[in-house]
């Protein structure tokens, strides 16, 4: 395993992103919707850095079932508050191809919020397959498979306080 962003770097990036979000929204109330499960750590750290009144909800969006290959996207928004006439900030762990985030945003816009903006911890360079760009990005990273700070491989490594790449030995030793 190779550390790509250490714990201090991750904290600093989340703080910079929170400051940019605060500058955008000021004291306006905000509804923060986290895309689970990868963004759980980011959500917890980010909302503690935001000063405006906020509500928090989650939705589950997944297209990776135990592998690194993308499959059909499934969105479950049952745990989300009503977003009609609210400013919404979607929080996600990684912007890779962009398919997940664009579909989540399209689904949320159907619910008639005042606005929808997006924030991601990581944006992978050169992987985008859509014409959408996140509004707030903490880090640009190379096109490598990463884990830690909420991101996983086969449900392992989410608890790491840093972002790391896996080598073949790490992948082989991960429990099924």
Per-residue pLDDT tens for 23-43? Answer: 999 999 999 999 998 999 999
Active site residues: 96
CATH of the domain at 115: 3.40.50.2020
Tokens of 57: 């909800």
Over residues 106-121, mean pLDDT:
96
Residue 93 lies in a domain: yes
Secondary structure string (H, E, C) spanning 105-147: HHHHHCCCCCEEEEEEEEEECCCCCCCCCCCEEEEEECCCCEE
According to DSSP, residue 151 is labeled B
Specify if 170 maps to a domain: no
Specify the pTM.
0.90
End-to-end CA distance of the chain: 18
Query: Considering the domain boundaries, does residue 169 fall inside one?
Result: no
DSSP state of 1: -
Tell me whether residue 54 is in a domain: yes
Q: Note the pLDDT of residue 79.
A: 78
pLDDT tens-digit profile of 155-166?
899 999 999 999
The answer to whether position 173 is within a domain reads no
- Report the distance separating Cα 52 and Cα 58, nearest Å: 19
- Banded pLDDT at 68 (limits 50, 70, 90): low
Domain-located, residue 44:
yes
DSSP code at position 148: B
Residue 118 lies in a domain: yes
Asked, for residue 15, whether it belongs to a domain, the answer is yes
Mean pLDDT computed over every residue of the chain: 91
Give me the domain span that covers residue 49.
7-143
Task: Give residues with Cβ within 8 angstroms of 56, minimum separation 6.
Answer: 31, 32, 33, 34, 43, 47
- The total of structural domains in the chain comes to 1
Is the per-residue pLDDT at 94 higher than 90?
yes
């Amino acid at each position: 395993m190779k550390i790509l962003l250490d714990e201090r770097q991750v904290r600093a990036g989340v703080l910079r992103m929170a400051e940019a979000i605060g500058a955008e929204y000021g004291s306006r109330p905000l509804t923060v919707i986290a895309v689970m499960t990868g963004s759980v750590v980011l959500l917890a750290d980010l909302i503690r850095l935001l000063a405006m009144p906020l509500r928090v909800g989650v939705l589950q969006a997944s297209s990776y079932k135990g592998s690194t290959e993308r499959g059909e996207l499934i969105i479950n928004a049952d745990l989300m508050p009503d977003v009609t006439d609210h400013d919404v900030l979607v929080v996600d762990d990684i912007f890779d191809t962009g398919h997940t985030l664009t579909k989540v945003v399209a689904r949320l816009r159907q619910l008639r919020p005042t606005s929808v903006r997006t924030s991601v911890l990581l944006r992978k360079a050169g992987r985008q397959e859509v014409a959408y760009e996140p509004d707030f990005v903490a880090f640009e990273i190379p096109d490598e498979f990463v884990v830690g700070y909420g991101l996983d491989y086969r449900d392992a490594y989410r608890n790491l306080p840093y972002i790391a790449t896996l080598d073949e030995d790490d992948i082989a030793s991960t429990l099924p």
